[in-house]
Structure 1
């Protein structure tokens, strides 16, 4: 009876009376404010203004009738401006941002929180990961954020997102980490592995900081999942572990981001596959095919094996596995746990660059050629990785169509099968066969697994 009476009294007391019963136990509880954290972190988050010149596409391009009549018409060059955010990572002015903010920019201007302005150059950029590393010209003694290992981040942690949404100026929003290991769900250029947060992220926040309650960078805001164009509480950030790998390669002078080569094709393991293999729960990546030179094949893995973890971290999709390999870096070795014949086994796999074997023998046609500027090469693992070709691709591939090849319909990644019925065996044969076929040329090619026929007259 006494217990019931106590409960009734508690329910009937005013809110102020209940609040008076709770005594703050620390200075942090008294303040309950993010202000000190923002004062510490905000100076290292910058606004980025990028300009690029783009060639407008002719409205008749690709049209089977009007394209031949107005094919020479070119759209006017147009200046395209983009606005985004970035994060300073060192006192000498190394900045991380998104590729879609600064990629292919001809002019980049970075504005600090204290209104100082710097010109910047791109050191390393990668469209697939949607990351870019910049250096501020003439910068020294810059405010910067330290990196926290994103592997230690947990769902439910408090986070702040700092950036320049909608170009209104630097803004801070708060939330929590609402998900980890998100793959294939973001709507930007980035494809891979993300931290999910409900901290409001809007256009212009791209490249901004996602920080923890100690002011350390745990991710770079990159995209949102939305139907309206504004934040719906589902935002994605690229983990700091990937950012660290980019900074390391940029400081080493790499011009392109170098990913370890798996040399394999894999697929997620669903409930049906796991039951047929005898796995207790669905999970992992099943090896479907292996290149003979694959480091996984050299370590003893075979088609049908299921990769469970990379360096102790579970992997459930091919992008997640590639993320784990990428943050490990070329030259390292990873411990791979895999399932075969009812037992779990372990292998140590070297993280290697895609081999340039057989030699690509890249050839670029000169000014006197039928298609000046056309660049072709023999397909090998290095070429396949550069162009994103299928694991089993082979033959002679277009590396760059050049201005005339592009006008004829060729694209980078097209496999050249034959010209006027003559099979292409070596890159050096292309120019000679084109000259023999001119002025009426027919090219048999393959694009994305589909055959196509290009006919044009010089």
Structure 2
């Protein structure tokens, strides 16, 4: 299966589910309160909402295959040179099928959906619907076509805002409270699937809080209302006629609807859309931490009471808001501004939605107890610096390395030799891993030669002896795991290692 963003594709018809009758089965009694909520028809609701949903038509100029700017040019040779004909034949063979020399650029057209939220002509849709478009047109229910101006986009949430000019007020719909939508609630999807404008489908909320790896703030509403390509950017309504989601993606092996669609929740979209309307850009809160998931083993290593939860701070970025407030590497963030952090992936979204400049309480787990700190949220930088990947380390030599019994690896102090051998930076700190035994506890956790051990059980280490002493101390305390802070070309992360008895490497027997 794949997650397909919706633009334009084929449709898949869904067959009704028919259950065979049973002689002994008795009809289930439906509570009266429930039957009163079941709509006899969605017609009145659809009639009211349809005028506010629009088709979005885009076009862009594509360079012809033989006219691409990045296509190789014919080398210049002296007139009559034998190489001239040779290279001409080669270029002809390499030309993409169907392309001709001098072929003019062509226009590509796409379609999607959107909805009007302001009578003055503000339209909301998906960013991928209009991405790269040279021209955008909005088609109303009465087939009036209006040229659209792009107000702003937010690629992180796949949202875009357009503006159209009309000689009369346009019909609008409003955002509802998506947090109040429950699994099982009725919903309507209206849009422009495969160019069939004004199509209405119904279904229920199938699930909440879905992560489909579309971006850093995934919190999708899942629905079984039929959504196909072309529905992208269209609204998902509740039975009150409020927009609770923006249809964005489907999971499908064929490209058509199989009843697994995803919508951006309205409560996430509201703030983004408001900022785009006001300034054409989005300002997000920023904490300045690198985080990772708290596993059961990490929770056990840290003595975290109850179940594994929160976001483990692998690194508090220097001069970032978190570091300035006293948040440290190894802290587990349990709550942020009153919001419980049950999973790591929830924290970036909570922080991003916090107003820049706001001072908020942050509860962390540190040294076996909870502490609350005040953090002033800063603005997320426009471009986060990415750690540069290091060259693959050369095969190590064991000379001077110390074996860590029971962990299946050898470590050595930082020196000119080890820095050169593993391409380590001059400001690197800690103890370098020089060898990892296959099948060992270290190997199972993904440690490799060239990794740096920066901390053991949240205590900094600078020599192999200090690492060994920390491991021995944990064994004396009968601790089942050791929590190591590991640094490599991809950044820092905490790794819990099972402490096998000394003399064994921890591999299965």
**TM superposition score category, shorter chain reference:** 0.5 to 0.7
User: 2:217 touches 2:348 (CA, 8 Å); kept in 1?
Assistant: no
- CA distance change for structure 1 residues 307 and 30 in 2, over 3 Å: closer, same or farther? closer
Q: How many residues align?
A: 350
User: 1:271 touches 1:281 (CA, 8 Å); kept in 2?
Assistant: yes
Report deviation, 1:327.
2.6
1:301 aligns with 2:327: yes
Aligned twin of 2:128: 100
Aligned twin of 1:336: 362
Aligned twin of 1:403: none
Aligned twin of 2:137: 109
| Structure-2 separation of matches of 1:389 and 1:211 | 39
| Structure-2 separation of matches of 1:191 and 1:216 | 22
| Larger gyration radius, structure 1 or structure 2 | 2
SS of 2:286 mapped into structure 1: coil
1:352 aligns with 2:348: no
Aligned twin of 1:389: 385
Tell me the TM-score normalized by structure 1: 0.66
Aligned twin of 1:246: 272
User: 1:46 touches 1:87 (CA, 8 Å); kept in 2?
Assistant: yes
Report deviation, 1:266.
0.9
Report deviation, 1:307.
1.9
User: 1:268 touches 1:316 (CA, 8 Å); kept in 2?
Assistant: no
SS of 2:279 mapped into structure 1: coil
| Structure-2 separation of matches of 1:198 and 1:30 | 17
User: 1:60 touches 1:66 (CA, 8 Å); kept in 2?
Assistant: no
| Structure-2 separation of matches of 1:273 and 1:143 | 54
SS of 2:176 mapped into structure 1: coil
Report deviation, 1:335.
3.8
5+ unaligned residues in a row in structure 2: which ranges? 1-21, 77-86, 95-100, 390-488, 491-509
Report deviation, 1:24.
7.1
User: 1:267 touches 1:317 (CA, 8 Å); kept in 2?
Assistant: no
Which range is displaced more, 25-34 or 105-114?
A: 25-34
- CA distance change for structure 1 residues 314 and 36 in 2, over 3 Å: closer, same or farther? farther
User: 2:251 touches 2:261 (CA, 8 Å); kept in 1?
Assistant: yes
1:264 aligns with 2:292: no
Aligned match of 2:347 in 321, 324, 345?
321
Aligned twin of 1:131: 159
User: 2:112 touches 2:231 (CA, 8 Å); kept in 1?
Assistant: yes
| Structure-1 separation of matches of 2:131 and 2:267 | 21
Aligned twin of 1:77: 105
Aligned match of 1:50 in 54, 58, 64?
58
Q: Deviations over 1:13-69 (max 9, x none)?
A: 998xx79x9997899569522222222222211110011223467799999999998
Aligned twin of 2:189: 161
5+ unaligned residues in a row in structure 1: which ranges? 1-10, 355-381, 394-448, 451-458
SS of 1:301 mapped into structure 2: coil
Tell me the TM-score normalized by structure 2: 0.60
User: 2:294 touches 2:344 (CA, 8 Å); kept in 1?
Assistant: no
SS of 2:119 mapped into structure 1: coil
SS of 1:160 mapped into structure 2: strand
